[in-house]
A and B are shown apart, each in its own frame.
Chain A
């Protein structure tokens, strides 16, 4: 990767403040440079996928966005402020959680955790319950609200975790490998639910699955130490080979794509 990272992908013109803004960000763990001079913006309502090989820095990029890591150089701005301060407005969905299967919580209890904030004391409010049930409804899981979280399938648990992120009235939804541990049918259901979300919600998904990328998002952030932003249509075999360092076959689908404002177009 010798190209210099560039601002914006040119796939869409944007107005107003970006939701996420990386300016000359570098980060290293010890002596290893993980992210080098990343420079890109993500705007309100965009649907973006972060791709790259294992160890390429995808998770580090995510943690920088959330303010869980501080850049060595450059700055990360989230919703116009510091990432650390604004991260409560980000709905984060981890790839998996190391939860204890004997921990007695229902799906609704888990979603209610998304309503928590620094100033939440005492018992949950009626408004919290309404928000949690709305979030479960968006993911099609109202019927499972009282079910123990541990008894749900992998796809349902992932959907509950997305509902937990939505319950916090997030402006940005950050999904780390949402389809990594689910079967094809559950993946389809998840995709359908995600597509139906509010058009103003900014959706950032980390994925290994290039087929998922090709049919899900119009804009791709390629990470392998350097960060490059492309429209999905420009994600050619040559670019992928350059990103992953070996041949990866990209399968194009004729499914609908999400445009950057939540609408649909064909790929």
Chain B
């Protein structure tokens, strides 16, 4: 009967289950060399890096939360300030309008008074001027009448001549 391949290998000292002390020791040696090198130069720094990054991320998140909270407060504060500013602005505008209205009314009243005074002054001046002119007219009319009467008396020859004389005098007026 022929041996199976596994048995053939086993009989030649090389099977799946045959122990190999040398390979075992080499495995330990290799593993521990890799372990000590990687522990010192790789995994320690990697783990430190990870912890550092986790800490940074945690802090960054906390800071972000704080900033968010602060921002909310600032927003509220801003809103309050804006509301106050709006109220104040409305008050200022109302006050301004009222002042402007008062000022306009005052200016109007004063203007009216002034205009009235000017009108009254002008009326008085016109009346005085009128009186003065009338007086001058009366005096001049009297003088003309006297002069005319004198001329008429002096030149009283005929009626036509008188008429002409009167007409000339009238024209001179």
Q: Do A and B bind each other?
A: no
Give the interface of B toward A (CB within 8 A).
none
Give the interface of A toward B (CB within 8 A).
none
